[in-house]
A and B are shown apart, each in its own frame.
Chain A
Amino acid sequence: KNEVEQSPQNLTAQEGEFITINCSYSVGISALHWLQQHPGGGIVSLFMLSSGKKKHGRLIATINIQEKHSSLHITASHPRDSAVYICAVGGSEKLVFGKGMKLTVNP
């Protein structure tokens, strides 16, 4: 079993839809990272959180430490949100990465 599991693995949505990406982990952590990677491109750090909830623009990330679960929500999705979303846990030095979730938002 992977230490970091993401679901779903792939998701296709229509522009404007509310999207939820889930991440469950089995290791003890101090922080969880949500990362975004566009095709062929570098990685952008969206959030780093260790408790509660963070919001940035149309993105919201939540974490439940007791349940070892985090969600990334995208409101009013747009085709430019199409990317791979990666959940990673741990300190920055030894991040354990999930396999990523490929999101496609159609116009």
Chain B
Amino acid sequence: DTEVTQTPKHLVMGMTNKKSLKCEQHMGHRAMYWYKQKAKKPPELMFVYSYEKLSINESVPSRFSPECPNSSLLNLHLHALQPEDSALYLCASSQDRSRDQGSGELFFGEGSRLTVL
């Protein structure tokens, strides 16, 4: 199984709603990532989890709250979002966190397309 599964595929929410995006992988990968991608732009790194601990937060607003319940699951909790937060949210995983060694091939999910009204 070389898949990263993201749910839901599409989400529409109001600015006062609370919702969550979910990501799952069963490849035994110990690093998991959230990226945000706006239309016609490259992905932007949001969070990195390594061995279930948050290792990088790229100055993401607190209305985005990540959670890694176990090594296979990664959640992104959303609260009080703004319309400009509408984007494709991509989850990815790699065998291990790799700042420099380049040993971390990334496996991406299909993404969750979020629309904030």
Taking beta carbons and an 8 Å cutoff, which residues of A are in contact with B? Answer: 29-31, 33, 35, 40-45, 48, 50, 86, 88, 90-95, 97-100
Total residues of chain B contacting the partner, CB 8 A? 30
A98 nearest CB neighbor, chain B only: B42
Nearest-CB distance from A23 to chain B (Å)?
12
Nearest-CB distance from B112 to chain A (Å)?
10
CA distance A36 to B113 in the complex (A): 18
Q: Is the CB of A91 within 8 A of B42?
A: no
Taking beta carbons and an 8 Å cutoff, which residues of B are in contact with A? Answer: 6, 31, 33, 41-43, 45, 48, 55-56, 88, 90, 92, 94, 97-111, 113
Q: Is the CB of B102 within 8 A of A48?
A: yes
Nearest-CB distance from B20 to chain A (Å)?
19
**A45: which of B33, B42, B103, B105 is its contact (CB, 8 Å)?**
B105
**A93: which of B43, B48, B90 is its contact (CB, 8 Å)?**
B48
Q: Is the CB of A29 within 8 A of B102?
A: yes
A102 nearest CB neighbor, chain B only: B40
Nearest-CB distance from A72 to chain B (Å)?
16
Q: Which residues of A contact B106 (CB under 8 A)?
A: 33, 45, 48, 92, 95
Q: Is the CB of B108 within 8 A of A91?
A: no
Given contacts A41-B111, A45-B107, whether A92 and B42 have CB atoms under 8 Å apart is no
Q: Is the CB of A92 within 8 A of B110?
A: no
